[in-house]
Structures are given as C-alpha cells and as structure tokens.
Chain A
C-alpha cells in the first residue's frame, strides 16, 4: 500500500475539500427530519384507526420499514423507484435521500408521538370529557400541552441519530462529507486522512448536541416525572 502512513499535509489539503460537503449533509439532515416529522403523523393517525386488521397491518408495515436496512431502502428509491409501473419517477439523489431516510425515520418518530400521547394520564382524558370540552379544546388545552414536552428530547436524540445516518447517502451520490472524502481519497490516495476528517466533523457536531439533549432530558424528567417531583418535595424530609 502507501509508504507514507499519515501525512498532515494531505490532512490539511483534504480538510477544506471535505468541509465543502457539510452544507449538503446538514441540508439533507434537516430536510429529512422535517419530512419524517410530518410523515410520523401519518403513522400516528393510521394506528389510531379503531379497526383491528388496519391496526395490525399498519403495525407490521412499520415494523418492516424499521427493521430492514435503510441503505437498501435508499437504493430502492434511487434505482428501483423510476421503473415502478405507473407511479415511478426519477428523483434526484437529494430527494431520494430525503424520502428514503425520511420514511425510515418516520416510523421511529410516529412511535415517539404515540408515546407522548400515551404518557398523558387516563384521568386527564376523563376529566376533559367530564368538563364537556370539545374535541378541539381537549387536544389544544389538555392533551397536547402535556404530550409534546416529553417528546422533545426524544426527537432531539433521533435528530442526532439521523445526522450520523446521513453519510450512507454517499452511496447514492449525495455529495455530503463522506462522498467528498471518498472522492478526495480516490484522487490522492489519502482515504485515512479524509475519513478521519469526516469522523471529526461528525464528532464535533454530534457530541455537544448529545450533551445538550441529555441535560434537556434531565430537566424534562424532573419537570414531568411525578416521582421526581415528589422526591424533590420530600428532599430533606426523612422518609
């Protein structure tokens, strides 16, 4: 292989080159996440249909999408979707990435929404019925204000997971950081330097966000977890 194992010269050459892909990577991440957040509602509504067979089918479709490799789903969108009869259209790599990864992640996000709604105690639903609130008022004033806050750290976690998953879109030629690194690597035979830069960029962006979300999580837990609140009240009181 190469006689020179590591060259700082190649490293500094590769850095601006790889960094060029960062805008695309971030753009794909944000667009995919927005797509997944919207599509997550589709799963949420489909699963709330009170018909056993529908519920069962939707659950298994979600399970199917979730437990099969996203890279194959991307390849499906990129290479197979154009030849699907009647509905097939050729999409740009960017659109394929957003739809392919977006649908994959929407199944996770749909579950987050569901867990948020289910976290609202039964008494809250009964109380809003007892108070004769309209459907709109019930959701707007009682359920959603309690259901949304606990989902925020979970959504944040999935945003970071998605960000780290986006480099696989390099395989369908989305020109993000990994794609740029591979191009640089093949032109200069400096794969290790270029890939190290990709790793550093991912680490530098994802680690602080992860720490931030962990803090948010703790804050949310103490705010919404009844046991934690009771513990806080009882602090200093010998139990």
Chain B
C-alpha cells in the first residue's frame, strides 16, 4: 500500500470538514474569548459572575464530554433536527476554547501596568479610548502566542468530531483501517502526518507571534 497514491486521496476527502470546523470554531472561540474576557473585567457583578460560571464549567470539564452533551442536548433543548452535526462540533470546540482563551485575554489586559491606564486617564481619555488606544494594543501582542497555541489545541480537538458522525480526516482514515487491518500502522501514521501538516503553519505563526511579543518590550 502506497501512502501517497492509496491513502492520501482517501484522507483528502475529509480535509474539507476538518479545515472548515477548525476555521469556524477558531473564529467562534476568539469572539467568545474577547466577549467573556472583557465581561470578566466588567464592573457589573452579575455579568462577572455569570461569565465566571461559563468559564469554570467549560474549563473544568473536557471537550469530549461537552461535545457528546451538546450532541444529545441541542436537538432537545431547541427542539430542532439539525441537518448536520457540523454546527455542534463548531459550538463545542468554540465554547470550550473560548473559555480557555478568555482567561488569556483577561490576564493580558490585567498585566498592562496600571501606570498606562492612569496616564490615559490623565490625558482625559474616555474608558473606551483608554481600552482602544492604550491598553488593547499592548495586551494583544501578549495574547498572540497563546492564541496560536490554543489554535493548535483546537486542531487536535477537531479529531473528536468523527465521534459524532462527521466525516473528517480521522473518519476516513479509520474507515480505511477497518478494511485494511494489516496496513493499520501505515494508515494511522499518514493520518497523523496530515494533522501535523495542518499544524505546521500554526506552529510557525505561533513562533512568529512569540518573537513579536518579545520585541521591544521593556521589563
């Protein structure tokens, strides 16, 4: 069995699902991260507690449990029959990593020296301007490497969606394995290489983000 001519074409069929889920859940989790991260810093105590609850629930349990739970609960809760489980995968991965990333957002904003915020106040900036022009541009540089790391984690998480019946790279690999048991090691290695190739750009972007975050920062 040739890995390039026999196995790869089969796996490519699942590439679309893996990549679209990764992109959609990454965007969803980034949005969740900023919303939840900023809500955690809000002055409103209910908002703060409520987001805290969301974060602790999603960080305290595991992705596979959340994925299964949403898989069974969403059709019942909203009384709908989904045409595809794609959206469930995106929601589960997005909410899970959104919770992790919101802590990154919160931590980075809190790590900006209080003098920065005081100086902005002294310059008569509104709280929005303070965030937009002073705090955020500094905080975002610190967030970038962590966002990269968690995106790699999300890619690893997308392999779980085959468990709720989505046809991703892992699904097609597993189908092949079940008909070619003797070639199982080779098939799985090729599947792993597929995921690694998808991870490579993310690894390099993360390294780049790390070097940007370090550059020109006085300690």
Instruction: Tell me the residues in window 192-211 of chain A with beta carbons closer than 8 Å to chain B beta carbons.
Output: 192, 195-196, 198-199, 202-203, 206-207, 210
Pick from A67, A71, A168: contact of B152, CB below 8 A.
A67
Nearest CB on A from B105, distance (A): 18
**A/B pair count, beta carbons within 8 Å:** 112
Asked whether any CB of chain B lies closer than 8 Å to the CB of A49, the reply is no
Asked whether any CB of chain A lies closer than 8 Å to the CB of B62, the reply is yes
Nearest CB on B from A127, distance (A): 24
Interface residues on B, range: 35 or more
Asked whether any CB of chain B lies closer than 8 Å to the CB of A225, the reply is no
Q: How far is the CA of A203 from the CA of B54 in the complex (A)?
A: 12
Q: How far is the CA of A206 from the CA of B20 in the complex (A)?
A: 31
Could you mark each residue 160-195 of chain A with 1 if its beta carbon is under 8 Å from any beta carbon of chain B, else 0? 000011011011000000100010010000011001
Contacts of B76 in A (CB 8 A): 1-2, 5, 192
* Given known contacts A69-B159, A71-B160, A203 and B196 CB-to-CB distance under 8 angstroms: no
Asked whether any CB of chain A lies closer than 8 Å to the CB of B73, the reply is yes
- Among the stretches A35-43, A76-84, A129-137, the one at the interface with B is A76-84
Closest to B187 in A: A80
Are A199 and B195 in contact, CB atoms less than 8 angstroms apart? Answer: no
Number of interface residues of A (CB under 8 A): 40
Asked whether any CB of chain A lies closer than 8 Å to the CB of B134, the reply is no
Interface of A is mostly: helix
Contacts of A79 in B (CB 8 A): 177, 181, 184, 188
Contacts of A72 in B (CB 8 A): 159, 170, 173, 188, 191-192, 195
Nearest CB on A from B151, distance (A): 10
Nearest CB on B from A1, distance (A): 6
Closest to A166 in B: B62
Closest to B195 in A: A68
Contacts of A71 in B (CB 8 A): 159-160, 170
Nearest CB on B from A185, distance (A): 8
* Given known contacts A178-B64, A195-B69, A64 and B184 CB-to-CB distance under 8 angstroms: no
Asked whether any CB of chain B lies closer than 8 Å to the CB of A106, the reply is no
Seen from chain B, the residues whose Cβ lies within 8 Å of a Cβ on chain A are 56-57, 59-62, 64-66, 68-69, 72-73, 75-76, 152, 155-160, 163, 170, 173-174, 177, 181-182, 184-185, 187-189, 191-192, 195-196, 199, 202-203
For this complex, 19 residue pairs linking A to B, each with C-beta atoms less than 8 Å apart, are A1-B75, A67-B199, A68-B199, A69-B157, A69-B158, A69-B170, A72-B170, A72-B192, A75-B174, A81-B185, A164-B60, A167-B64, A178-B68, A182-B68, A192-B73, A195-B69, A199-B65, A203-B56, A207-B56
